[in-house]
Structure formats: structure tokens, C-alpha cells
Structure 1
């Protein structure tokens, strides 16, 4: 297990007891899909929240599902809205996401996590079940998808997508955390081996195919991408996942750049906030709180050559338009893109 500072005790075990209420077309759990009713609360630092921002953007749900963005750091109590004027979310009127969890359950006993969808009418969290959340955006909100939205969870491929997602989650998405939060050498060694065995499997799988499942971007690609984007800036050093950098895995590195340069992916990434979160919040791993200046991230914009494998990123659909002005990345990102560390 891991305490609030990121100090491990043996093998890392993630608490996966989420609020599993769903927002569905038929409102079976009491929360029907309604435009303008819900607010998706995220942090740009968090890989699990990053999935939701990518899917929301690809599907064009910006006008029907509002976005609240927490800052990159938090204390042991809660994510906070310190990026907003006065440190208050302008829609929910709260300073801490914890307040929305307590509006749902005054005795809520578990971690305050992002992403979370909050009912704007009551100010209470509806769900923080991040694996189901993005699937529901794809399958339950279809009436409000933009024209040309891609099909991220196509019915004929769901079994294969689910199978790939299970291994990617267990060995890669969560695998980097099992390395970083391991409390002893044996737990770390086992996690390290499992992680790089899975990355080798992905290198082989993607060698002759452009995307993980089928010939278009699916939910599987979204889930892998958010970990790959954080690998060299954070996981390689901070979490001791240092057998190879992503940039030293030629197939995965090209695949990650292909997605990064695809509208809806790279334009959700803020490397400055990502690095601040991990290096400043996990004081058990990095007690000084020093955020490293590297790596040089300009190489994310170099040619990837993956077009030669064919595939149609958006299938019969189209790329999403430019994001709304108030959802553009921070000014710090422009510096990153222009080649500074």
C-alpha cells in the first residue's frame, strides 16, 4: 500500500473502489444524459483524468459537458482549484473537490480523485469511476457527439479492446505506479520486470499496425497514450522505470508521437503541470520537491513515419476542431513547444 506522500509498504495496491453511479441515456441510476447539467473535473497532470479530456475532445462534447480544471498539486485532503480566480471553481463555487465528494457522502472515506463528474444542480459527485466514465461518454452521449466524431468503442471490436485494456492497465498504466510506490526491493523488481515485458509486447504488437485494435483510434489507444506521454518526463526517473526511455523504444516512441501530433491528444498535454504534480506531491519519493528541468520535449514534434502503416485515425469521421480558447493549454506549454526544456 501507499500513504499520502507516496511512500510504499511492500507491493503497491491501488484502491479501486470507485463511485460507480453511471450517467446513461435511460437514467437507470437516476442521472440521465443531459446537456449543461454536469461538470467534468480533471487535472491536466493526472493520466486517468487525461483520458477523459481526450475522449471529451475527440467526441466534441465541450458544449454539453463543462470542464473544471484543478491545479497540478494538492495536499493530503483534496485537489484544489488554484488555477481559477480566487481559487474557486467558477461553476461549482468550491475551492476543494473534496466539497463535491462530501456533498454526495458527508462521510466519504476514500481518496478524492480525478476525473470526477459533478452534478451542477446539487454540487455532488456523480461518479469517479474513470474506466467506465470514458466508455459512457462514447456509448451513452452519442446524441450529443459532434458531426464526424470517431467511434472509439466500436461494438465488433469491444472484446479485443477490453482484452488489450486489461493488460495495458495491469502491466503499464498501473505498472509504473507499482514500480514507483514499491516499498521493498522484491516488490520493485517484480513490478519492473512486468512493466518492461508488457512494453516489449506492445512494441511487437504495434510494429506492423498503426493502432492497438483495428485500423482506427480506439479507447485502447487513449488509455495507453496517457502513460506514454508521462514516461520520459516522470516515470523513467521519478518512478525508477529506467531500463529504457520511451525515446529508446523505437516503435512505441513513433506510435506515441503519431498520437501526440493528432488533434485531441497532444493538445490536452501540459508537461509543466505533469512534472510539477509528480515531483512536488510525492514527497516520500522526492522529499526536496525539486522539479527537474529536463528532458527536452521538443522531439515530440519530430516526424514519426507511422502513416506508412496505413490506418485511418478517425475512421469515417474527422479530426476535432481547435479547442475552445478557455481550454487551451497554459502559456508554459508554448515555451515547451518552441524547444525549451
Structure 2
């Protein structure tokens, strides 16, 4: 974390530096062309995880390449296990600095590289998944789900804002707080929203009914990391995910979908958080638990109307 990311003991996430957009018609200067862009991710990062889920759900594997960084990050930032075969980079920082030599800050994933212009287009993680869902529609596989249906967008956006503020980013605000009041504020907001979501999921299979949407994609990565990391490492310990009957079954239901389960790497997740964040875990010892069965029957099918 940098000094700029704290205010009165509160964690403040740095602004996204690259916010150009990719458009279906190319009006932005970055057309949604198959094979043109490379998505850089970490399996450990929840923001990157959501992009992998959407890419897989929509069948964009051939249209958009992926480069995966090592889960262990040091002061030089994210490192590729081997030199990235497309850009030749060893560290993600090389791509940030070649795109903007004056850049200062953390080099974050996910980000999208344009192989034609040779620069980063975006590291605006909230926009990357919706771009894949809308601007790349011509490249979706036949029968791909509509994750961001027009009629539901205002409601999805509203719920996403609450979930981002109190849950997705809320766990970080609790974990990185350096003041008691800042920690408790984030902690209370986190569990208030989890309680609301638990109630919401009592009568519907997914957050907006019978179909997976962008809202489920955004919530799931935090749930997948909750008991393994956030509960202890970030002091989010009022309840475990496993203590919420509906949320825990819902998370397992999503995990059973290959796009979710096969992009969830608990080894990368735990090693990244416990080894990298030495201010919280100076020993860098990685816990063996929790030992839970993500493949256990979830019973959520009964809530589907079809």
C-alpha cells in the first residue's frame, strides 16, 4: 500500500490510471476486434477473477488472450512466471511505464493491452467485464448468457455499487484500516450487507432470479476468498461464509459452474495474501485451512422457476 491510499486510518483505493474504452464500432479508436487485446490477470486478485469468469461464460477465450502473473508480488509489482510471450515483459510495471513513463502508483490487474498500438488501454476493473458483455457481443459463443440485460441494468448497477462499497472493497477497508473507528465502520457495513444478501437469496437462486448476471460475477470472488483469507487475515470475523446457509449454498452453486469453479485457485489466493501482505502477516506463514467442501450439494436448483 502507498501513503496516498490512506486517509485518517481509512484505506482509499487508488484511482484507475488507464480508462480508455473499447467499442464495438471502433469509435473510441479501440475496436472490439478478435485477437487484438491481451488481458492480464492474477488468479489471486478478485477484480481480475471476475474478468476470467466473464471471458469463460461468454466464450471469449479465442477472442481475447490472457497473461497470468505469479501470485507472489514484491516491491517491483506483479511478475510473470516466464517472460510474457506477446509483450516480452517480465514485470507488469514494464507495460504501465511504456504506456505512461510518468506513472506512479501500484501496477494493478486486471488490465488490457492493445497489441496494435502497443499500450495499455484500461485498468478500469469495473468497466472491463461490462465491456466484454456489451462491446464484444459479436464474438460471444452461440447461446452465451446475457449477463447485463438492458432492462435490469439500473438495478444491477445499484446493487453492484452497494456490494462494491461494503463487501468487495469493504473487506479491504476493514483489513487495511489503521484506526479502530475506520475498521469498525467497514466491519459493520460489510456484515450488514451480507445479512441483506443472505435474506435476498432465500427466495431466488441468483441475485436477480433464475439467471446469472454481472451482479453474481462481482459478488462471487469476494465470497470465494472470504473464509480462506478475509475472515482471519482481514479481521472480518463476525461470521464465516459457511455460517450463512443461503450465501454459502449460493457460492457453491456458482462454484459448480466451470467458469466460476475452474477459475478459482485457492493456492494462488492464499499464497498471495498471506505471503505478500507482510504488514498484516509478517511471518508469511500460509494457513492450511479452512478445509471445506466446495463441491458439496447446494440444493439451489429448487429455487429455479424453469
Q: Which runs of 5+ in 1 are unaligned?
A: 313-341
Q: Are 2:97 and 1:97 aligned?
A: no
Q: Is the 8 A contact 2:2 2:105 kept in 1?
A: no
* Alignment correspondent of 2:233: 238
Equivalent residues of 1:119, 1:125 under 8 A apart: yes
Once the two structures are TM-superposed, the CA of residue 7 in structure 1 deviates from its matched residue by 9.0
- For 1:178-212, what per-residue CA distance to the aligned partner results, in whole angstroms no more than 9, with x for missing partners? 11000011111111111100100100111101111
Measured in 1, the distance between the counterparts of 2:15 and 2:189 equals 20
Give me the TM-score of the superposition, normalised by structure 2.
0.96
The answer as to 2:56 corresponding to 1:48 is: no
> Could you say which residue in structure 2 is the equivalent of 1:155?
150
Q: Per-residue deviation at 1:311?
A: 4.9
CA distance in 2, matches of 1:301, 1:127: 35
Note closer, same or farther for the CA distance 1:218–1:129 as it changes in structure 2 (3 Å cut). Answer: same
Question: Cα deviations across residues 2-49 of structure 1 (Å, max 9, x unaligned)?
Answer: 438x99960111113331101111223211111111100000000000
Contact 1:39-1:119 at 8 Å conserved across structures? yes
- Going from structure 1 to structure 2, the CA distance change for 1:254 and 1:8 (only over 3 Å counts) comes to farther
Aligned to 1:67: 66
Counterparts of residues 101-180 of structure 1 (less than 5 Å)? 101-180=96-175
Deviations along 1:298-330, one digit per CA (max 9) or x if unpaired, are x10100010000156xxxxxxxxxxxxxxxxxx
The answer (yes or no) to whether the contact 1:39–1:118 under 8 Å persists in 2 is yes
Tell me the distance in 1 between the aligned counterparts of 2:275 and 2:118. 29
Separation in structure 2 between the aligned mates of residue 250 and residue 34 of structure 1, nearest angstrom: 43
- The question of whether the paired residues in 1 share the 8 Å contact of 2:16 and 2:123 is answered with no
Aligned-partner SS, 1:236: helix
CA distance in 2, matches of 1:89, 1:9: 39
Give, in angstroms, the shift of residue 252 of structure 1.
Answer: 0.4
Q: Work out the number of aligned pairs and report it.
A: 305
Distance, in Å, in 2 between the alignment partners of 1:14 and 1:44 is: 20
Provide the residue aligned with 2:219 in structure 1: 224
SS at match of 1:44: coil
- Residues 87-132 of structure 1 show CA distances to partners (whole Å, capped at 9, x for unaligned) of 2011111101111111211111232100000012343211011111
Q: 1:270 aligns with which of 265, 274, 284?
A: 265
CA offsets per residue over residues 54-88 of structure 1, 9 Å max, x none? 00000000011001000101112321102xxxx20
**Contact 2:71 2:269 (8 Å CA) reproduced:** yes
Question: After the TM superposition, which of the residue ranges 9-18 and 109-118 deviates more from structure 2?
Answer: 9-18
**3-state SS in 1 of match to 2:259:** coil
The reply on whether 1:302 has 2:296 as its aligned counterpart is: yes
Cα separation, 1, equivalents of 2:10 and 2:291 = 32
